[in-house]
């Protein structure tokens, strides 16, 4: 039996635009998904999911699973099962064990569909744990590549490498098409996360941006402008200029609003943080509901968000410099 974990993430800059080859800078945060995998006889899977902002479910299947009866949208449940299936398929392929069966338990501190990279963390941790259970050890970059293939398939070819690479290697990273690398010497980033309790449909939101981009030249230019913001943000990150990072986060949110991927609940959280003198604030992830990230060294934004109607949770999130790692089993630990 092997337990592996991987971190969630926030986007400092660049979500949505990264799908079209623009750069993005996601940052791993100290909220993790843990996947426990134990090989079992036969080729069936038994999957237990807990703490995914679902009611929890257990399902056993070979091939196609019956949808669990949980209080979230059917599309999110289908995607969750697709991510698990994809992680298992990648592990079987890496170990050349096409008929391996597994008992899988997923526990996550990352809300499902909230823009904090829950699916990437589960897939990354799942691939790492399952391959180790089958006697194969992959590097973080190998895990990231296999996890990207899973997200690419589940999201109908509209995924980027950003989420999975960030979750696999940890820290702050830069992703532009196939060029993925860690960013060294990142200053302390005082993240405050506000969560509206909702969840966006990533596939639907990405498809909506694609449709706008194909219909309107100015929408395509907006995507390119996000890329320009990212490049300016990289310079500010290198200089350790938190005030400039905050201003650019504000710009990035405005451009995402223009692309139609924000929501009133997210805008209200963003403005509450800004009015409390946060250096900057923006949605993180696909949008449509979920989380915002603010940059604030004081307690102002955190306090303001706690008293903002519609904000269900507020927490500080330290940068997690650890990517995927094994917590027990596989490498003899614990």
Interaxial angle between packed helices 217-239 and 242-258, expressed in degrees from 0 to 180 and rounded to the nearest 10:
170
Rounded Cα distance between 243 and 325, Å, is 33
Does residue 87 come out as left (phi exceeding 0), alpha (psi in the -120 to 50 range) or beta? alpha
Tokens describing residue 134: 């089958």
CA distances from 131 to 37, 105, 295, 328 (A): 9, 15, 37, 14
Rounded Cα distance between 67 and 1, Å, is 26
Tracing tokens 């934004």 back to the chain, one arrives at 301
Catalytic residue, chosen from 85, 128, 163, 201, is: 163
Tracing tokens 């899977």 back to the chain, one arrives at 45
Interaxial angle between packed helices 74-95 and 202-215, expressed in degrees from 0 to 180 and rounded to the nearest 10:
100
Residue 163 annotated among the catalytic residues of the structure:
yes
Contacts of 220 (CB under 8 A, 6+ apart): 213
Q: Taking a C-beta distance cutoff of 8 angstroms, is the pair 8, 33 a contact? A: yes
Q: Which of 277, 285, 326 is nearest to 303 (CA)?
A: 277
CA distances from 157 to 19, 110, 278, 317 (A): 10, 24, 36, 30
319 DSSP assignment: B
Q: Which of 94, 92, 173 is nearest to 139 (CA)?
A: 94
Rounded Cα distance between 170 and 187, Å, is 15
The catalytic residue positions are 163
């Amino acid at each position: 039996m092997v337990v592996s974990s991987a971190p969630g993430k926030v986007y400092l800059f660049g979500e949505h635009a990264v799908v079209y080859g623009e750069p993005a800078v996601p940052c791993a945060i100290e909220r993790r998904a843990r996947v426990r995998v134990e090989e079992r006889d036969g080729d069936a899977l038994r999957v237990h999911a807990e703490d995914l902002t679902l009611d929890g479910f257990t399902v056993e299947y070979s091939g196609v699973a019956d949808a669990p009866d949980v209080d979230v949208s059917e599309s999110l449940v289908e995607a969750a099962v697709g991510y698990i299936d994809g992680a298992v398929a990648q592990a079987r392929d890496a170990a050349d064990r096409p008929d391996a069966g597994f008992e899988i338990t997923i526990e996550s501190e990352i809300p499902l569909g909230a823009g904090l990279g829950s699916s990437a963390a589960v897939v990354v941790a799942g691939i790492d744990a399952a391959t180790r259970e089958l006697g194969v050890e992959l590097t973080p970059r190998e895990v990231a590549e296999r996890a990207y293939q899973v997200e690419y398939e589940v999201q109908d070819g509209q995924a980027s490498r950003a989420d999975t690479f960030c979750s696999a290697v940890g820290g702050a990273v830069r992703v532009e098409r196939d060029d993925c690398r860690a960013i060294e010497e990142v200053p302390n980033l005082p993240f405050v996360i506000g969560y509206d309790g909702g969840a966006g449909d990533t596939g639907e939101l990405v498809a909506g941006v694609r449709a706008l981009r194909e219909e309107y030249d100015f929408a395509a230019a907006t995507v390119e402008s996000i890329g320009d913001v990212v490049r300016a943000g990289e310079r500010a990150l290198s200089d350790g200029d938190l005030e400039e990072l905050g201003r650019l986060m504000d710009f990035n949110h405005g451009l995402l609003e223009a692309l139609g991927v924000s929501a009133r609940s997210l805008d209200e959280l963003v403005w509450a943080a800004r009015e409390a003198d946060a250096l900057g604030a923006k949605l993180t992830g696909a949008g449509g509901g979920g989380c915002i990230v603010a940059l604030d060294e004081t307690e102002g934004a955190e306090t303001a968000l706690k008293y903002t109607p519609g904000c269900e949770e507020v927490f500080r999130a330290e940068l997690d410099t650890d990517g995927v790692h094994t917590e027990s089993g596989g490498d003899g630990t614990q």
